[in-house]
Chains A and B, each alone.
Chain A
């Protein structure tokens, strides 16, 4: 028997909130992206926890798809970030505001 399911879900929620704080507070785009990946991991943990507690394997399948999608998203996101910041001198998302109304 593992630790109670609610403990895993609380850990997933805590990791998700830490990721949210990271996205909102940090200015470095790479740390923001890492916080997004942390949120995805928290969701994966919730998927796998429910898969275990309900006895169905669908949660693990969905977590597998989330991991694949996260890999594709990281590739495209980092390509975009590196092509934006290859031109500019500073790595600061607050400076990328030319579309500001």
Chain B
């Protein structure tokens, strides 16, 4: 029962945020909606016994790739004046959100979660040890090739970003 509720709520949120990505007039809003979609998909990975992939998704996809997107968005779109200091109006909301986050995390630390195993993690493919085992034995060549791919991408970015002298 709770599994279907978990999936249903995350799926609805993911679809709504995805529609928000393609519908938003403001590009920064699209990027933030995309981060929300990536977060929802990461939570779905958690229910599919892919905890490592969930963490990698949040760290790499939402944390690095979308941040890069936001850098380029702010570099390319024409800047508008923000107006008077809007930080003051948003401070109560920020404090409320931070307090809620702090309370949630403290409860988790003190009580150690709900004590039940994660949703669907008992009958899965084996999680991180199995993933690491496959990655370093059967898929070793593609793994080394991806590191080569990343070096090539870095060199390409440097070359493409250079100013024409």
Name A residues whose Cβ lies closer than 8 Å to a Cβ of B: 1-3, 7-8, 11, 14-15, 18-19, 21-22, 25-26, 28, 30-31, 33-35, 37-38, 41, 44-45, 48-49, 51-52, 54-61, 63-65, 67-76, 78-83, 85-86, 91
In contact, B22 and A18 (Cβ under 8 angstroms): yes
**Can you sample 11 A-B contacts with CB below 8 Å?**
A1-B3, A3-B8, A8-B44, A18-B19, A30-B76, A37-B61, A57-B130, A60-B52, A60-B131, A61-B131, A74-B69
In contact, A69 and B149 (Cβ under 8 angstroms): yes
Question: Which 10 A-B residue pairs are closest in the complex by CB-CB distance?
Answer: A22-B22, A72-B153, A3-B7, A79-B160, A2-B120, A57-B130, A52-B48, A57-B125, A18-B18, A79-B157
**Binary CB contact string for chain B from 17 to 49 against chain A (1 if under 8 A, 0 otherwise):** 011011000010011001001100100110111
- Which of A35, A56, A75, A91 sits near B77, CB closer than 8 Å? A91
Name B residues whose Cβ lies closer than 8 Å to a Cβ of A: 3-4, 6-8, 11, 14-15, 18-19, 21-22, 27, 30-31, 34, 37-38, 41, 44-45, 47-50, 52-53, 56-57, 60-61, 64-65, 68-69, 72-73, 75-77, 119-120, 123-126, 130-131, 133-135, 139, 142-143, 146, 149-150, 152-154, 156-157, 160-161
Report if A72-B72 is in contact (Cβ < 8 Å); known contacts: A2-B3, A35-B21. Answer: no
Report if A7-B7 is in contact (Cβ < 8 Å); known contacts: A18-B15, A64-B131, A79-B157. Answer: yes
> Which residues of chain A come closer than 8 Å to B52, judged between CB atoms?
60
In contact, B156 and A41 (Cβ under 8 angstroms): no
> Which residues of chain B come closer than 8 Å to A11, judged between CB atoms?
11, 14-15, 44
Instruction: Considering the complex, give the chain B residue whose CB is closest to the CB of A45.
Output: B41
> Which residues of chain B come closer than 8 Å to A30, judged between CB atoms?
27, 30-31, 69, 72-73, 76
> Which residues of chain A come closer than 8 Å to B49, judged between CB atoms?
52
Q: Which of B45, B53, B68, B150 has the most CB of A within 10 A?
A: B53
Q: Smallest CB–CB gap between B159 and chain A, Å?
A: 8
Q: Smallest CB–CB gap between A6 and chain B, Å?
A: 11
In contact, B48 and A8 (Cβ under 8 angstroms): yes
Instruction: Considering the complex, give the chain B residue whose CB is closest to the CB of A31.
Output: B30
A96 to B2, CA, bound (A): 50
Instruction: Considering the complex, give the chain B residue whose CB is closest to the CB of A15.
Output: B18
A71 to B157, CA, bound (A): 12
